[in-house]
Amino acid sequence: MENVQVFDSPGKGRGLRAAKEMWAGDVVFSEPSFAAVVFDNMAEHVCHSCFRRQQKLQRCGQCKFAQYCDRTCQRAGWKEHKQECGAIKTYSKAPNENVRLAAKILWRLEKEGEVVLDTQLASLADLEDHVADMPEDDLKELKVDVHNFLDYWPRNSKPYRVDDISHIFGVINCNGFMVSDQRGLQAVGVGLFPNLCLVNHDCWPNCTVILNHGKIELRALGRIGEGEEVMVAYVDFLSVSRERQQLLQQQYFFTCTCQHCTERTKDDLMMASLDTEENKPSEELVKEVTEFSLETIKKLDQARLDCKYHEVVNLCRECLKRQEPVLASTHLYLLRILSTLSEVLSYLQYFEEAAGYARRMVEGYMKLYHPNNAQMGMATMRAGVTHWHAGLIELGHGMICKAYSILLITHGNTHPITKDLEAMRMQTEMELRMFQQNEYVYHSMREAALKNQPMSMMSEPMAEGVKKLFRKQ
């Protein structure tokens, strides 16, 4: 932790500030989870030790709940699972993810005390729980969890007061960090990372957080001066400031007063209509198309859940036809449609049509996102792969290079996705050279390469990506 120190951030309570100057791509700190659990609905698809998604897993013979890649993962996870294993056996089923996580946290505290590692900057007792701010429905759920916890918690473990247990549930509720699978494409669990909890929010932050080999890394997005506060974004930037503020208030109980919110930076672009000399849509028309777009987006979400991909395509095409003469290329609803349409068309293997939409989406994102935003890096990567599959090698290679340069900063060169991307960058570079020398040879080679290349990036139109930092129901 030599790069940061705890300090009182004006108006925000505690925060972390840089103890020395840092640059884009520097790891500010990395931290293993204090405790982490697999989501209930992922319990049979993800290893409970390394959080990789696997086709085949081996069940723990004792509790018949925990699943592992192999004996190595099971052995590695045993220290954390031992007490849980016994508790699940006695309780005769596994309780929900919140209760499992709270129990794991308390077992670890029991074994190792409040400050587990000498690098941990705050004790769990000091972390915010916001129980007092919770709306009534959430409080009811919390009480149910506490009740179930007390049933589940073994008699021979250290007893806790209801208030202490409520505190842990409150901490999980506002600080539980989404743990993603090995490729960072899907949220599969939730964990607690005490130092990360001290990092405050800014909608236009100077850091990003990424999970790599079971640890989180806080990585600098640009130069950070000595003494400057390090910040991350708890929510995705692509909402207008008022909506981001509402979301942050609802989920994290504070009003964002960051510069981008106070000055409403980029709100105008996100809601802009297409206003050119030849084309001036009336206010009424803009309103009508905006409402139609919102409705379509709702229908899309349902159709995607039902895996009706051709219906998704039709809904998007119809909506896009109405948006195109009215909304600007940076309008959030237009970008939503372009994103869904390109993703689903890629999945259905209509690469050429998908590529056109993906390109427009990336161009829009570039005007809105921070140049080193991880979401934009991932979107650019998907767009690049789509172009490559469509045989648009020059554009494809360019986008893959662009994505690679972003991910080197946001993910680092050891992250599995960056490694994939580097392989793609070399492959497309070779193909591009071949294309420039001899188009015929290029096309026959590409066919062969496509046969060998599993389209792993394209396989999941459902994966919305992990846009939220902390897990909130």
Distance CA 368, CA 265 (A): 10
To the nearest whole angstrom, how small is the minimum distance from the Cβ of residue 64 to Zn ion? 7
**Helix residue ranges per DSSP H, 324-415:** 332-347, 351-368, 374-389, 393-410
Q: Does 258 bind Zn ion (CB under 5 A)?
A: yes
To the nearest whole angstrom, how small is the minimum distance from the Cβ of residue 182 to Zn ion? 9
Shorter beta-carbon distance to Zn ion: residue 72 or 459:
72
To the nearest whole angstrom, how small is the minimum distance from the Cβ of residue 2 to Zn ion? 29
Shorter beta-carbon distance to Zn ion: residue 243 or 353:
243
Distance CA 46, CA 38 (A): 7
DSSP 424-461: HHHHHHHHHHHHHH-HHHHHHHHHHHHHHS--GGGS-T
Single out the segment in contact with Zn ion by CB under 5 A; choices: 10-18, 46-54, 117-125, 428-436. Answer: 46-54
Q: Does 279 bind Zn ion (CB under 5 A)?
A: no
Give the number of other Cβ atoms within 10 Å of residue 25's Cβ.
Answer: 16
Shorter beta-carbon distance to Zn ion: residue 49 or 418:
49
Structure tokens at 47: 């290893």
Chain-centroid distance of CA 190 in Å reads: 12
Q: Does 69 bind Zn ion (CB under 5 A)?
A: yes
DSSP-derived letter for residue 180 is E
* Residues within window 408-437 making contact with Zn ion, judged by CB under 5 A: none
When binding is defined by CB under 5 A, the residue of 22, 46, 63, 379 that contacts Zn ion is 63
Give the number of other Cβ atoms within 10 Å of residue 408's Cβ.
Answer: 18
Q: Does 60 bind Zn ion (CB under 5 A)?
A: yes
To the nearest whole angstrom, how small is the minimum distance from the Cβ of residue 159 to Zn ion? 23
* Element of type H or E holding 211: strand 207-212
* Element of type H or E holding 5: strand 4-9
* Element of type H or E holding 103: helix 97-112
Count of residues near Zn ion by CB under 5 A = 14
When binding is defined by CB under 5 A, the residue of 146, 233, 261, 383 that contacts Zn ion is 261
Single out the segment in contact with Zn ion by CB under 5 A; choices: 56-64, 333-341, 412-420, 450-458. Answer: 56-64
* Residues within window 76-105 making contact with Zn ion, judged by CB under 5 A: 85
- Binding mask 184-223 vs Zn ion (x if CB under 5 A, - otherwise)? -------------------x--------------------
Using DSSP's 3-state secondary structure scheme, residue 279 falls into coil
When binding is defined by CB under 5 A, the residue of 22, 146, 188, 256 that contacts Zn ion is 256
Distance CA 206, CA 211 (A): 17
Distance CA 289, CA 85 (A): 55
Shorter beta-carbon distance to Zn ion: residue 49 or 293:
49
Distance CA 383, CA 380 (A): 5
In the complex, the residues that contact Zn ion under the rule CB under 5 A are 47, 49-50, 60, 62-63, 66, 69, 73, 85, 203, 256, 258, 261
